[in-house]
Amino acid sequence: MRLWGILFLLIGVAACGGGDQKPAAGKTGEGTDAGNGSFAGQFREVKLPYSLTDTALLDGTDTSTLRHTGFTESLPDSLRSELFPGGKVRYTPLARMAAEGGGAYYVVKAAAGARKAALLYVCDKEQRIVGVFPFLVPDGDASTSQASSIDKSYSITRSVVQKKDNETASDGKDVYIYNTALKSFTLIMTDPLEDRRDVLNPIDTLKRTHPLAGDYVRNERNFISVRDARSTSEISFYIHFEKDEDCNGELKGTALLTSSKTAVYRQGGDPCVLELTFGANSVTMREMEGCGSHRGLKCLFEGNFPRKKEVSSKPAPKKKVKK
């Protein structure tokens, strides 16, 4: 996932709750006023946990506009240039929630032209804006879905799921906390989106002379490999499937042929019983008895897998010898 900085410092500190105060130019960290009047009442008050998706952010209707200068003045130049390189930024209130120590969190929708983002403003107990964070920034990628959330312990999670095809998806997330003493956001955990290792087939190099031997593949992360076993009445197999985050499975073993087209895995000490039924160009697996120790709780060993065509290596043509 793309990381923004750990810390976003404010050039000024603006009043959150308002009050009839006059703007006061200040030194770094000392403050500027948000403007006359209170803007807290414009926000919908919610209780934690709170979450926001990219779809809700992009499709939501802007019913009101925040016109307090504090939002503009509190947005660091580095963040503004990254999110909104040009144009006037319009602010819309989304949600308000109580924070630790008597402060508050404000989620604000910021938009300039077609570019939209959700910003998280942090107010201290004196109701001054002391931090701003890019809570949710849509990436414009149609293959991903994004969501950001704040849990009851005030951890901020930005997550993304990317669909690889109809069967698989990769996910990533970053988790931050706000440090009140340092007035900064700190990254405490990251799980990169692309951190997915290739699936290694442990039986790939075994012989495949058996009529049923081969690779039955939906995609690179959903396949059944079949190889020779010690006896012709058995087959060695390796199964790997991934349907979503909570639905992954893996099993390596030996199955006994109960007919020319059917093999059953049944191993002493393992409650799992699995059936493999072979067709002309595919194999169908069926979980007959509990294989929960080999898979996630929300799925079963099931489905049909087409046989991958083997690429035949043609012998190199013999060179003609001139007489």
Lowest-pLDDT range, 116-120, 162-166, 283-287?
Answer: 162-166
d(CA 62, CA 89): 13
**CB contact at 8 A, 241 and 249:** yes
pTM over 0.85: no
Whether 224 is covered by a domain: the verdict is yes
SS3 70: helix
Residue 323 lies in a domain: no
Cis-peptide into 317, omega within 30 deg:
no
How many other C-beta atoms can be found within 10 angstroms of the C-beta atom of residue 189? 11
Residue carrying the six token digits 């692309």 = 194
Q: In this structure, are 41 and 129 located in the same domain?
A: yes
The structural domain count of the chain equals 2
Verify that 88 and 172 share a domain, yes or no: yes
Strands 234-244 and 247-257: antiparallel
Q: Note whether residue 322 is domain-resident.
A: no
Domain boundary among 160, 191, 222: 191
Domain that holds residue 266: 214-306
The pLDDT tens digits for 78-114 are 777 778 877 788 888 898 988 887 888 999 898 887 8
Cα–Cα dist 167/242, whole Å? 7
Confidence of residue 58 (pLDDT cuts 50, 70, 90): confident
Residue 304 region, left (φ>0) first, then alpha (ψ -120 to 50), else beta?
beta
Q: What token pair was written down for 23?
A: 């703007």
Count CB atoms within 10 A of the CB of residue 140.
Answer: 10
